[in-house]
A and B are shown apart, each in its own frame.
Chain A
């Protein structure tokens, strides 16, 4: 007997993702982990695997649909014996059979995968077949102990003589130990990490034992976890690993490809027996021109980034002196295309302002002295006051706390105030988000900020901790500079740049007074915010910083 279950979208690390491919049809029989659909977020494309074996009875999404976590993708008829643990919504089922507490216990231990996870096992993750028997260099380790990884998340980046590729995680889980370090040489079979894998198969085991009071996480999986044999993927999402010799197209079509500089191994043919037709090349070029570039490299090399621009001339730098080629970091590769998109698509204006922070600085230092005496173990930084002042300003000017709706005809006004803080890390720029800044006190914010920036520098931020920002602060005050023009962190509509404060003579009506002035650079999306409003916002913000008593008004 078969049960029909709804297969839902798991946590895909983003808000909305677009369905770009349907991998199954109604009536298809799928095995567990078979791909059902392919979705594309602004960061990557990924396959959504089937949670169990069965037959597809209905497909409820279409190509081009925007879906998010929890959306129903397909209806799957599963054999009943495997249905309960395969279903992606064990919550309504498991608690019915088992006392709530043990289940809760398990989920708290594995917070990243709360709904369906009840069993853990430590597995060794080794280098899969990378297409060569030679040893290859590890050029980047992308995870650290304690990281949560999703299936297909890159673990390490290796470089062969042919390509640079990420070795993906074979399963979602928690990184317990990283065996490999940068610069190591590895080959197929080398141990990369120890991964604590969470899986749903254990429901059966867990339920009876927990009823008699045993701890949930204890029973080790008897069955070896079915790790999918994933091959490492080259960075380009369209890459198929074909060689040019095997490209199936006629000379005239190859010529068209050459003219557009198309790597024909990346074009899928729609002709008979997947022959590449002229139309396929044209469609590929059109697609490549229209889509935001998936990698920084593609962006830089095409030069145009979707705009009809001429390419950058190729320069042989070695002609002018010694050079060295170093790879972009993972964060640079991801953030580069986003920054580029924001820079070219948002009409930016930057408003400059100076805030008199003489008094607030005096107050801050005083409080830190007191805090030290009281051993509060927290240090207040000027940034926290800026955050508070910004939160207050956002309340006063709600249009700054908005996003353009995708329909182009509405603004999404936010009733919450979460502020992103741009943090410079060795691997690149990240923006952790501090939630509900308007509701938190200076000490709470200081502690939270310390914790988040620490995590950011260690590369341990979770996806959730970098989402949901309303406006971003980019502070270079600790370094220097008088002003700069930050790029709006879309879908936010404004960003506040902070430069180094300086004592300047200010006329008080009778004499020049030495005042500590903080330069502020407010970049905003001119489609949403008028110049006059931005000036008012900047003045308002500066006013609060000059006299923080306004915070309590």
Chain B
């Protein structure tokens, strides 16, 4: 059966970027068709990414917190893990959100077409669905095709080797789990499996976990997790041999064990690759780079005037919140607004334990750019709230432009770090300086006040710590 649809706007992909673009365009009065290959809306983020992983991380956190209470006088019994129930709860979280999206799409009269959409020309897309091909003729298109996990060529096909999607399925709790890749995704899943009972090893090719963040920030995380994970930095996997009794992994590098090591399962989390080459964009005349990215201008327009692209497929950072903002710009530009994607910063968060969160420039970037900057760090050992929560390992680090005191970056490592990051992002966007934040009264006792206190360190008005900038009395 074949079907034909004519529309003003077609959006290819219904992840956070895609559905936001579709909904925004619909709210601006345009006819919108949303094409999605998954059965549900929400893309990787809602179905097999951000959201389900947070549900499992919540489980991990409660397990760890309960255990930690033993040293403060409250002892619980060993946790009874019912994997099916955990999985069911995780799935219910996902379906609550994706179901909500389906409802909102209907309310906005956005037509959804299920199937993999590919361009057949600069005004047509063909969608191969379960019930035949749908041909969509459009005036404008927004490509929000997303990305998928990178797979490594030397790793054999084996059910015991999975990527983040497989890890979220929570088939079992392996005794020995190797996480290949010390980035955000690998560490988050490692955190979940360790809490459920796995012995987790992490192998990272670079000399630092979460390589995008500053070394001193990540060091806080690594120190705290020294006993939880077997971390092998500057080390790479050269071969994986799948045997009956396990996966035998050969390492090479600084921390490489001499002999191959046996693991029950391997999580490959070495990065994500854009899906730019999977939508036949070249048939519409859209240029796709060798690596699969689609290049766009600051209005999200590709080299073809009526085709826009947003989200992971247009470049780093591959983050849902970036995609959503790009989506709004693309939809607004299509509806005739003169809007531009013009942020000063995009936040990044690793929802690990402790969390690592940063926004704006890192100190490394400030140094590389030769900026005249100054760093102020507030150690959580001086935070009443952190001490009362028995989590004093954290740190709040602010980076200032020394010439005018303006905040150009910030990083927080510690519990709830991600929830606190918004203030720093707002400060950077608004051009706030250390004095502005320092003079903003932060509630006490909170972890959040550490941001204000870090600004007081820079200003030289800190009283909760020895003040290096205090005037010496004679």
Contacts and interface: CB of A to CB of B under 8 A. Distances in A.
B431 A258 contact: no
B404, B430, B431, B433 — most chain A CB neighbours (10 Å): B431
Nearest to A276: B431
B429 A250 contact: yes
A527 interface: no
A255 interface: yes
Contact of A254 (B342, B404, B406): B342
Interface string A245-263: 0001111001100110100
B338 interface: yes
A250 B340 CA distance: 14
Interface of B is mostly: loop
Contacts of B430: 250-251
A258 B429 contact: no
Contact of B339 (A249, A255, A273, A275): A255
A152 B337 CA distance: 42
B404, B406, B430, B433 — most chain A CB neighbours (10 Å): B430
Nearest to B403: A246
Contacts of A275: 431
Given A250-B431, A273-B433, A275-B431, A258 B343 contact: no
A317 B431 CA distance: 40
Contacts of B406: 248
Contact of A248 (B337, B339, B431): B431
Interface in B389-411: 404, 406
A251 B339 CA distance: 11
B436 to A, nearest CB: 9
Nearest to B433: A273
A259 B406 CA distance: 26
A86 to B, nearest CB: 36
A258 B339 contact: yes
A251 B343 contact: yes
B433 A258 contact: no
Contacts of A258: 338-340, 342
Interface string B322-343: 0000000000000001111011
Contacts, number: 26
A373 B392 CA distance: 109
A354 to B, nearest CB: 54
Contacts of B337: 259
B106 to A, nearest CB: 31
Nearest to A269: B431
Interface of A is mostly: helix
A275 B337 CA distance: 25
B342, B343, B406 — most chain A CB neighbours (10 Å): B342
A251 B338 contact: no
Contacts of B344: 251
Nearest to B338: A259
Nearest to B299: A258
A269 to B, nearest CB: 10
A251 to B, nearest CB: 5
B430 to A, nearest CB: 5
Interface residues of B, number: 13
Contact of B342 (A248, A251, A261, A273): A251
A250 B430 CA distance: 4
B209 to A, nearest CB: 30
Given A258-B338, A258-B339, A259-B339, A251 B433 contact: no
Contacts of A249: 431
Contacts of A255: 339-340, 342
A67 B430 CA distance: 41
A525 to B, nearest CB: 39
Contacts of A248: 406, 431
Contacts of A254: 342
Contacts of B342: 251, 254-255, 258
Interface in A229-273: 248-251, 254-255, 258-259, 261, 273
Interface string B43-84: 000000000000000000000000000000000000000000
A248 B429 CA distance: 9
Nearest to A248: B431
Contacts of A273: 404, 433
A474 B191 CA distance: 85
A446 B387 CA distance: 97
Contacts of A261: 338
Contacts of B338: 258-259, 261
A248 B404 CA distance: 11
Interface in B328-373: 337-340, 342-344
B406 to A, nearest CB: 8
B376 to A, nearest CB: 19
A339 B342 CA distance: 38
A249 B342 CA distance: 12
Contacts of A251: 342-344, 429-430
Nearest to B430: A250
Nearest to B369: A245
A254 B433 CA distance: 18
Nearest to A271: B431
A190 B16 CA distance: 57
B365 to A, nearest CB: 13
A251 B406 CA distance: 15
Contacts of B343: 251
Nearest to A244: B342
A84 to B, nearest CB: 43
Interface in A423-478: none
Contacts of B431: 248-250, 275
B325 to A, nearest CB: 10
A251 B325 CA distance: 12
A436 B289 CA distance: 72
A254 B340 CA distance: 10
A396 B339 CA distance: 61
B458 to A, nearest CB: 16
A251 B342 CA distance: 8
A75 to B, nearest CB: 37
Nearest to B337: A259
A263 to B, nearest CB: 13
Contacts of B340: 255, 258
Interface string B440-471: 00000000000000000000000000000000
A320 to B, nearest CB: 18
A261 B431 CA distance: 21
Nearest to B435: A273
Nearest to B341: A258
Contacts of B404: 273
A259 B343 CA distance: 15
A92 B338 CA distance: 62
Nearest to A245: B344
Interface string A506-544: 000000000000000000000000000000000000000
Contacts of B339: 255, 258-259
B440 to A, nearest CB: 14
Nearest to B408: A245
A248 B405 CA distance: 12
Contacts of A259: 337-339
Nearest to A249: B431
Nearest to B340: A258
A429 B434 CA distance: 55
Which are the 9 A-B pairs with shortest beta-carbon distances?
A248-B431, A259-B338, A258-B340, A250-B430, A251-B429, A254-B342, A258-B342, A250-B429, A275-B431
20 contacts: A248-B406, A249-B431, A250-B429, A250-B430, A250-B431, A251-B342, A251-B343, A251-B344, A251-B429, A254-B342, A255-B339, A255-B340, A255-B342, A258-B338, A258-B339, A259-B338, A259-B339, A273-B404, A273-B433, A275-B431
Interface of A: 248-251, 254-255, 258-259, 261, 273, 275
Given A250-B430, A250-B431, A259-B337, 18 more contacts: A248-B406, A248-B431, A249-B431, A251-B342, A251-B343, A251-B344, A251-B429, A254-B342, A255-B340, A255-B342, A258-B338, A258-B339, A258-B340, A258-B342, A259-B338, A261-B338, A273-B404, A275-B431
